[in-house]
Amino acid sequence: MVRAGAHVLLVDDNPKALEFLDVRLKALGYRTTIANNGEVAIAAVERDKPDIVILDVTMPEVNGYQACRAIKRISPKTPVIILTAKAEPADRFWAFESGADAFLNKPIDPAVVVEKVRGLLES
Amino acid sequence: MILSGTTLAVVAVDEAACERVAAPLRTAGALVQCTIEQTDTLATLSEPGFDAIVLDVGEQPERFLPVAIALRTDPRTRDLPVVALPDPSLPSGRLARLGAVHVIAQGDEGASVPLLADLIESRRTALAAIEYARQQEERMRAAGERLTSMRTEAQTLAHDARALCGIVVGFAANLRDEIAGPLEPTQHVHVALIIDAANDTAALLERFVTTARAQASLPERMSSRPPPSRRVARRTMVDFAEIVRTTARLLGTMAAEKAIVLRVDAPHPVLLWGDSMQLKQVVTNLLVNAVKFTPRRGGVAVTVRSVNGSRPAVGRAGRSRAELIVRDTGPGIPTEERERVFQRGVRLALDVPGSGVGLAVVREIVSAHSGSVRAGEAPGGGAELTVELPLDIRSRREQPLLLVEEPAAARKVFAALRGQRDWTREALQAGSPLVAALETCRAVIVVPRGSRASLDEALEDAAPISARTSAEGS
């Protein structure tokens, strides 16, 4: 079972891109933090120790793959979901090569994302 | 004046020799510059503008050796034709060291005129060809850069648009799941349509980028594929009836604006092995046309159903088909125009907005699915468009499975499927139970007698294709 108020860190340089997920997760009882770039996300992982991270890829300065590697160095057991509009096979490869636990393509039904979050937190 | 417009350099040991060589060249129209062989000769010859160089070597070819070598090695002069005029008594071996020059005996200076004319013309032709090739290469390089830039832009656009589709799908799904409050049943339908359309948009973009990428990586000859509408892009098991219902719902507003009654008769699933987005395009084009040409308060009737073939081929998918009929109460299509309307750019009513490609795209997509489309007259005089698409054996979901446990019967089934083996003829006569079973079943499963495990596996394999596809995609 997912413990009550599990903390999800949402990372995207476009805040609207994750707002619908933020709303849904909060409605389901999760705690959320939004970071708008890779550097802020890495700092948030160090500081807040979220239970799971949902990461966009295309971000300025530190992209999602770089952020994922850094997060996995800081907290290897924190699951990371890459959620991106990049749909080439190479993107999937780089996601897992960076240590991601799941790779999801936009557009995606947020119910599927929540299921993935739940599954990773339970495993 | 065979040498008109040419500039030549004559190199000789003294002024008199130079003038002797230059005279016939000037007579032939050439502008000649005389140069006495000395230390600054090379500097003079490497000035731009000469079309050819004449060396009056006489009896002393060795004296001209440095000049000849320098002319051959200097990038500014190495492609210039060089003609040597030796003393006729000079052994040819003494000229060899001058390299690849053209030789005319001294005293025969007149012969140098046609030779020089030929050499200059050849050089000019070669230079023009090189320049042309260089320009072509430059054009190709520029075109390649433009293409690369457009491809990158297309990929960026597709990425950004997919991200935006993600926002649409995300918020619409929140509405659907009533995270932002309860919805009316109609609102649920609308939200489902929004999600569907946004997902289709993202899929279209992805398909566009994938096609562009594939085209770019193929040689030109191989990449000259027909436009996307002329081939089936991605086949999955689709319910054509559901596509018709969904599309009709989407166009409901358009019909309502003209108070047109849009009636859809698609009560049963009609399963096809086809491209759902292309089939949606077919239905959309037909319905948009029907609504466009139907006057206010008219009616559009859409029927979709499976039609059984009269005599399916034994053991094959049969000739059963999906039939979509769109009838309207508009002005109809004149008999002589019923074939022409499927041509690109043909518009029958110029006062009605349109581009004249809608029905052409319908025919291309339907043909790509091995189907047909025809125009006719609806009862009452309106237009009647009929699309027929072949059903796939895998679409017979509502039909029974044929389980074959007897080894002998299994052999007969396989033989029937392949149409081989004489001994199967008797078993496959019309009216035989096996033939009837083959024609009506959706799958044939052959299992060893009494093997429960194999039967379970076989049944799992025969699970609906669409269900398996979605499972693989998740």
For B193-222, the pLDDT digits (tens) are 888 888 888 888 877 777 666 665 544 444
What residues 67-96 of chain A have any CB closer than 8 A to a CB of chain B?
85-87
Tell me which of B198, B225, B252 is where a domain ends: B225
Please give the ipTM for the structure prediction. Answer: 0.87
How many structural domains does chain B have? 4
- Across the interface, which of B168, B169, B206 has its CB nearest the CB of A87? B206
Mean pLDDT, range B340-355, rounded to an integer:
72
Position B231 in a domain: no
C-alpha angle B457-B458-B459 in degrees, rounded to nearest 5: 90
Name the residue among B174, B198, B202 with its Cβ closest to that of A23.
B174
Identify whether residues B245 and B389 lie together within a single domain. Answer: yes
* Per-residue model confidence as pLDDT tens digits over B119-136: 999 988 988 999 999 999
Q: How far apart (Å, rounded) are the C-alpha atoms in residues B292 and B255? A: 9
Domain range enclosing B439:
399-473
Q: How confident is the model at residue B169 (pLDDT cuts 50, 70, 90)?
A: very high
What φ, ψ does residue B347 adopt, rounded to 5°?
-125, 125
3-state secondary structure of B268: coil
Nearest by CB: B163 against A23, A24, A106: A106
Distance (Å, whole) CA B215 – CA B229:
16
Rounded Cα–Cα distance for residues B236 and B272 (Å): 8
In whole angstroms, what is the distance from residue B242 CA to residue B249 CA?
A: 11
Give the pLDDT confidence score for residue B465 in this predicted structure. Answer: 35
The mean-pLDDT minimum among B148-162, B366-380, B381-395 falls in B381-395
Distances (CA, A) of B342 to B165, B274, B275: 33, 21, 21
Q: Are B415 and B380 within one domain?
A: no
Is residue B176 located within the same domain as residue B202? yes
Same domain, B293 and B380: yes
Asked if B241 and B372 sit in the same domain, the reply is yes
Cβ-Cβ contacts under 8 Å, B206 against chain A = 87
Domain termination site, one of B54, B76, B107: B107
Q: Distance (Å, rounded) from C-alpha A39 to C-alpha A61?
A: 8
Is B117 within the bounds of a domain? no
Which tens digit of pLDDT belongs to each residue from B83-111? 888 888 887 777 777 776 787 877 777 78
DSSP H helices in chain A: 16-27, 38-48, 64-74, 89-97, 110-122
Is residue B381 one of the residues assigned to a domain? yes
B175 and A CB contact within 8 Å: no
Residues 6+ apart with CB under 8 A from A57: A63, A64, A65, A82, A84, A86, A91, A95
The answer to whether residues B250 and B364 belong to one domain is yes
Contact B179 A87 (CB under 8 A): no
CA distance B211 to chain A (A): 12
Shared domain for B246 and B377, answered yes or no, is yes
B353 versus B471: which is more confidently predicted? Answer: B353
Domain match, B408 and B304 both: no
**Domain annotation covers residue B143:** no
Q: What is the pLDDT of residue B386?
A: 95
Mutation site, A106, A113, A114, interface B, largest B CB count within 10 A: A106
What does the pLDDT average to over B419-426? 38
What CATH number has the domain bearing residue B369?
3.30.565.10
Q: State residue B427's pLDDT score.
A: 39
How distant is the Cα of A105 from the closest Cα of chain B, in angstroms? 9
Q: Is residue B83 part of a domain?
A: yes
B259 and B371 share one domain: yes
Q: What is the mean pLDDT of residues B73-82?
A: 84
- If asked whether residues B355 and B390 sit together in one domain, one would say yes
Nearest to A17 among B163, B177, B202 (CB): B163
Average pLDDT over residues A48-65: 91
| A100-110 core/surface letters (b: 16 or more CB in 10 A; e: else) | bbbbbbbbbbb
Tokens of B407: 């080894």
Query: Last residue of some domain: B48, B79, B107?
Result: B107
Residue percentage of chain B with pLDDT more than 70: 73
Whether A107 sits inside 8 A of B160 (CB atoms) is no
List domains and CATH numbers for chain A: 7-122 (3.40.50.2300)
Please tell me the predicted confidence (pLDDT) of residue B319.
65
Whether residue B141 lies inside any domain: the answer is no
For A98, B306, B339, B359, B360, the CA distances from B334, given in Å and listed in that order, are 64, 28, 10, 15, 17
**Statement to judge: residues B207 and B311 lie in one domain:** no
* Inter-chain touch A109–B173, beta carbons under 8 Å: yes
Distance from CA of A22 to the nearest CA of B (A): 10
Report how far apart the first and last C-alpha atoms of chain A are (Å, whole number).
Answer: 9
Q: B216-264: per-residue pLDDT in tens?
A: 554 444 444 555 555 666 677 788 999 999 888 878 877 888 899 999 9
Rounded to whole angstroms, how far apart are CA atoms B455 and B389? 33
- B416 shares its domain with B327: no
